[in-house]
Structure 1
Amino acid sequence: MNDTPVALHLPPEALQYLEHVRVEKRLAARTLTLYTLDLQRLAAMAAGVDLPLLRLTSAHIRRFVAQMHAGGRSGRGIALILSGWRGFYTWAARQGLVPHNPVQDVRAPKAPKPLPKALPVDEAVRLAEHQETGADPWLEARDAAIVELLYGCGLRVGELVGLDVAPSPAAHQQGRGWVDLQAGEAHVFGKGSKRRSVPVGRAAAEALQAWLAQRALPLGAAGAARLEPALFIGRRGARLTAQSVWSRLRQRSQVAGLTTPVHPHMLRHSFASHLLQSSGDLRAVQELLGHANITTTQVYTRLDFQHLARVYDAAHPRARRKP
């Protein structure tokens, strides 16, 4: 291997390992550079405790992890560094240089889960009520119905594109749902092929009726007879894809003047957040979203805590300050 200035600072066993992965694994130059930097970091930390690399223990590695975390390095970044160190010690153990891998059972700190992004109520309503001037009536009717179902029912995009116009044996076999407008319900197949029913509100039902009146028009009478059972279709009659929904929704949100591009799951988050703000019924929101575990739903209580705190301050008699 052509030694770089970074590699020259490493002990012989580390250089041997880098040569091994370069030749045997044929790593890309960028990956090899990252491995080298990770081992240089480890060597510097080992020097800080006056020990060679091959005499470090799991306790030392955990201390190094704590130091990196305290220094502001993310859990994901630490996990990548540990992966490089783990590979080195796995090789060293095979060579008989160490009795065991000191990194084997060391894990990086868990990264905090980011809060789901939800739209403010006014922006969600603006998107749902948006009517594009001069737009193709067929596309406008379809896209409006898509927005209403995503925001009004909290559907996942996979559940949305899996909907059929009516129930059928084939729909059950292929894990597809359908909308029963007469009953005001959408029957969807969620994760793990679990079926659930969600109410379809007045605005969503009206948007769906408008779309169903337009749905088969571009195909003519002959094409309508061969039309797929899919509720949402493209120009040629094929079932709409999730990617198409993402693209259309992003474009629609920009035309509607929203401050951020909208994606399907953002409308699902908005559905849950706004429903919880109004009702406070976490169990009901869990059922409507199809979450197997209520801890998944509880993230929305964190999302809306500030809103709920303002409501409390304004409404609860024990929260009001005396004049």
Structure 2
Amino acid sequence: MTTQDASLECYLDVLRTQRHLSEHSLNSYRLDLLELIRMAGQQELRSLTPQHLRRFTSQLHAGGLNPRSIARKLSSWRGYYRWMIEEHGLSANPVEGLRAPKKSKPLPKALGADDAVRLVAHHASNQADVPTRCANRAMFELLYSSGLRVSELVGLDIADIQEAGHHSLGWVDLEQHEVHVTGKGNKPRIVPVGQAAMTALRDWLAVRGSLLKADPHPLFLTGRGTRMSVRLVQLRIKAHAQALDIPANVHPHMLRHSFASHILQSSGDLRAVQEMLGHSSISATQVYTSLDFQHLAAVYDKTHPRAKK
């Protein structure tokens, strides 16, 4: 056993007897430290510098190791060097202050334009109930047309109802072709409504009365005459997408992402998309520029002669 191996086993024994770690945890520490020894090669662990450790971290990241696993390894290494400082007079901890790469945020999943239009424009063959079919189409069209959150959608009321004590979170102005909503942080905004969504809304309003019961306020009603719920919208849109064989796990927020990315692809106006989504900060909207780049990259790979391998 080398001096370095003996030092490693001594440290693990300290973890076992003083910190009472389980054998599973001790094995994890051992594997992390053995990997550090492997990466150091011929160099002694006590002679490693922060530059060495930074390079090792970059190598782990480039090799596909996720940030959480890298953070765990850094923690193992940091603890070992702290022990080396306390017990063996090491002058400095080369891992101190070193952090794992930030975990990349996954891009929002958006439908392609063709699938989005097919989802909101077509009826599934199993929808024989006219009020349900009209309600679904109006809701799906409005989600995609105006980029509403599903909570904002189900909170919409009929615009012309004015009653003392009734507070509406949102309504659709059929004359101005716009929807008024109160979003996160009680922030109000007005978003345009497209012509297809307006047509679907009018078709729904023509049959809405057949479901109207106790509460006259909600724009969208269930078959029982109650306000539409977030969960029911989720179930309906998922079932509708499956019936149309759309190859994605479709949920209402996916239509909001699709709205944003398709508007941005067409206009390039990030500020307008920010206003329509109701984001308080432009940084929350900038994620859609990545989606836009994905679209451009796909076009490039498909069409540019030098992109073909």
Shared fold (TM-score greater than 0.5)? yes
2:240 aligned with 1:258, yes or no? no
Normalised TM-score (structure 1)? 0.71
2:99 aligned with 1:107, yes or no? yes
2:191 aligned with 1:198, yes or no? yes
Asked whether the 8 Å contact 2:233–2:252 carries over to 1, the reply is yes
Q: Deviations over 1:155-210 (max 9, x none)?
A: 122322333334776546xxx33323333221222233322110122221222233
The root-mean-square deviation of aligned C-alpha atoms, in Å, is 3.9
2:117 aligned with 1:125, yes or no? yes
The corresponding residue for 1:69 is: 61
Q: Deviations over 1:63-85 (max 9, x none)?
A: 33123123332334323433555
2:249 aligned with 1:269, yes or no? no
1:103-252 alignment to 2 at 5 Å?
103-135=95-127, 136-166=129-159, 171=167, 176-215=169-208, 217-218=210-211, 224-225=213-214, 227=215, 229-252=217-240
Q: Give, in angstroms, the shift of residue 113 of structure 1.
A: 4.0
**AA partner of residue 45 (structure 2):** L
**AA partner of residue 14 (structure 2):** Q
Find the aligned partners of 1:90 and 1:218 in 2 and give their Cα distance.
70
**Number of residue-to-residue matches in the alignment:** 290
**AA partner of residue 257 (structure 1):** D
Cα separation, partners in 2 of 1:246 and 1:310, compared to 1, 3 Å: closer
Find the aligned partners of 1:34 and 1:244 in 2 and give their Cα distance.
45
Q: Give, in angstroms, the shift of residue 271 of structure 1.
A: 1.1
Normalised TM-score (structure 2)? 0.74
Cα separation, partners in 2 of 1:39 and 1:213, compared to 1, 3 Å: farther
**AA partner of residue 124 (structure 2):** E
- 3-state SS of paired residue (1:119): coil
Unaligned stretches of 5+ in structure 2?
A: 1-5, 301-309
- 3-state SS of paired residue (1:108): coil
Cα separation, partners in 2 of 1:108 and 1:287, compared to 1, 3 Å: same
Q: Give, in angstroms, the shift of residue 9 of structure 1.
A: 10
Find the aligned partners of 1:292 and 1:42 in 2 and give their Cα distance.
44
Identity %: 50
Q: Give, in angstroms, the shift of residue 111 of structure 1.
A: 4.2
The corresponding residue for 1:81 is: 73
**AA partner of residue 109 (structure 2):** K
Q: Give, in angstroms, the shift of residue 20 of structure 1.
A: 5.4
Q: Give, in angstroms, the shift of residue 148 of structure 1.
A: 0.7
